């Protein structure tokens, strides 16, 4: 998870360097491709992998199959992501596929680890639901390898296939599926978000499937969009109901940020779908595609991930230092043991999380006006937000 956060800082710098391409709406410029893959393969993918490996034992009451495999996966994933971004920044070429193959190998190790871990889980049904977005990650990687190797009967269709599987099938679906379950762990509620029927998860998966296989045909795209947005909206509504029926009234400060980021996924995904259809149908709104993509990644994905890190990482650090089972001598003076909510400085972390959607808005303004100045300002605000959040993480480590 911390590795992914490091990639996120590098992504802001690359976005500032590619401000001219962003203002022109050129999503295929080398630096822009490198920046987008830093956000997806470098940042989001690493944090998501770490979170899944961490949460599988906690959420689904199982055991992680093999820690050594997870470390091996991290090595392949790090080298693959760094090499992929470097090659994209230098105009790509077939060598991109070599580093993509390393990412595919890391994915195969992740899948093996998860499948073997889920076999030990008590809550297998919930665990299997979470596995579906991980399978879409495999589709995304295969599509990327096909694009890099030039195995493309229709490059435009495969590109849309690649983005939809990654952005909606993996990231948005995984955040949508994990958020209510994580919130139920963080905030004890009198009702489960998924205690009632109908269950929205099959609608979510059906929506992704229709969007991926529908291509440029209007009917599958409309049906898939409606199914996906309806399912995500129902998940959000039930999560809010469970939050409203919580047992403890007081909330830790990261929880409202998690909820805000989670809810932001609905308009961000709707905007992305509208921009995606504009590209598929060849209308004049295609330049907004890049703005919608970056808004989805930074305002929704990045803000939600940062909010989760603000809740998860302090708890992990607290457990290492103050777990009574590990260090019982510390609890001889309980007044000196801080609470987990006191570990993470709130103000710099909140400033960082507020900076990400603000920067995304400036990127959209840059595309609308065609002026690189707004993109440079957005990248600067993003660097400031990332630096403030990183300082909060460093203070949390010292505490």
Q: What is the tens place of the pLDDT at every residue in 143-155?
A: 998 888 877 777 7
3-state DSSP assignment of residue 197: coil
Q: What percentage of the chain carries pLDDT values higher than 70?
A: 96
285, pLDDT greater than 80: no
**Longest Cα pair distance anywhere in the chain, in angstroms?**
69
Is-contact 313 393, C-beta < 8 A?
yes
CA distance 13 to 261: 23
Q: What is the tens place of the pLDDT at every residue in 74-87?
A: 999 999 999 999 99
288 or 169, which is more confident: 169
Flag whether pLDDT at 334 surpasses 90. no
Answer whether residue 312 shows pLDDT above 80.
yes
SS3 state of residue 189: strand
| Range scoring the smallest mean pLDDT among 31-45, 64-78, 278-292 | 278-292
* Listed residue (308, 300, 310) closest to 361, CA to CA: 300
User: DSSP assignment, residue 94?
Assistant: T
What whole-number distance in Å separates Cα of residue 128 and Cα of residue 18?
40
**Phi, psi of 250, rounded to the nearest 5 degrees:** -75, 135
189 forms beta bridges with 246
User: 246 by DSSP, 3-state: which?
Assistant: strand
Of the chain, the end-to-end C-alpha distance in Å amounts to: 19
Please compute the mean of the pLDDT values over residues 95-123 and round it to a whole number.
88
d(CA 198, CA 204): 12
Instruction: State the average pLDDT over residues 112-132.
Output: 82
Q: pTM of the full predicted structure?
A: 0.90
Name the DSSP letter for residue 342: G
């Amino acid at each position: 998870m911390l590795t992914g956060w490091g990639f996120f800082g590098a992504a802001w710098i690359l976005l500032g360097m590619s401000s001219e391409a962003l203002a022109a709406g050129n999503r295929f410029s080398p630096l822009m491709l490198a920046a987008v893959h830093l956000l997806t393969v470098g940042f989001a993918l690493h944090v998501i992998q770490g979170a899944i490996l961490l949460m599988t034992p906690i959420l689904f009451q199982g055991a992680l199959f093999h820690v050594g495999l997870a470390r091996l996966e991290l090595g392949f994933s790090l080298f693959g992501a760094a090499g992929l971004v470097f090659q994209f920044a230098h105009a790509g070429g077939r060598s991109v596929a070599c580093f993509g193959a390393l990412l595919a190998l890391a994915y195969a190790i992740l899948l093996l680890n998860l499948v073997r871990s889920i076999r030990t889980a008590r809550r297998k049904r919930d665990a299997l639901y979470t596995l579906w977005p991980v399978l879409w990650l495999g589709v995304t990687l295969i599509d990327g390898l096909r694009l890099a190797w030039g195995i493309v009967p229709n490059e435009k269709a495969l590109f849309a296939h690649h983005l939809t599987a990654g952005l909606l099938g993996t990231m948005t679906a995984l955040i949508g599926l994990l958020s209510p379950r994580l919130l139920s762990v963080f905030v004890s509620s009198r009702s489960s978000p998924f205690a009632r029927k109908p269950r929205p998860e099959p609608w979510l998966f059906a929506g992704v499937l229709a969007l991926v296989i529908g291509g440029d045909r209007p009917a599958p795209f409309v049906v898939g969009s409606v199914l996906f947005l309806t399912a995500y909206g129902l998940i959000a509504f039930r999560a809010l109901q469970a939050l409203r029926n919580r047992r403890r009234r007081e909330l830790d400060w990261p929880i409202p940020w998690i909820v805000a980021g989670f809810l932001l996924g609905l308009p961000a995904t709707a905007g992305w779908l509208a921009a995606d259809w504009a590209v598929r149908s060849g209308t004049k709104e295609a330049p907004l595609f890049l703005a919608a993509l970056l808004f989805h990644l930074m305002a929704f994905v990045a803000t939600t991930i940062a909010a989760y890190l603000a809740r998860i990482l302090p708890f992990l650090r607290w457990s290492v230092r103050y777990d009574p089972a590990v260090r019982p001598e510390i609890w001889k003076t309980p007044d000196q043991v801080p609470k987990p909510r006191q570990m993470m400085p709130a103000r710099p972390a909140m400033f960082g999380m507020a900076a990400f959607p603000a920067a995304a808005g400036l990127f959209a303004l840059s595309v609308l006006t065609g002026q690189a100045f707004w993109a440079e300002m957005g990248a600067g605000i993003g660097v400031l937000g990332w630096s403030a959040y990183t300082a909060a993480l460093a203070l949390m480590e010292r505490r």
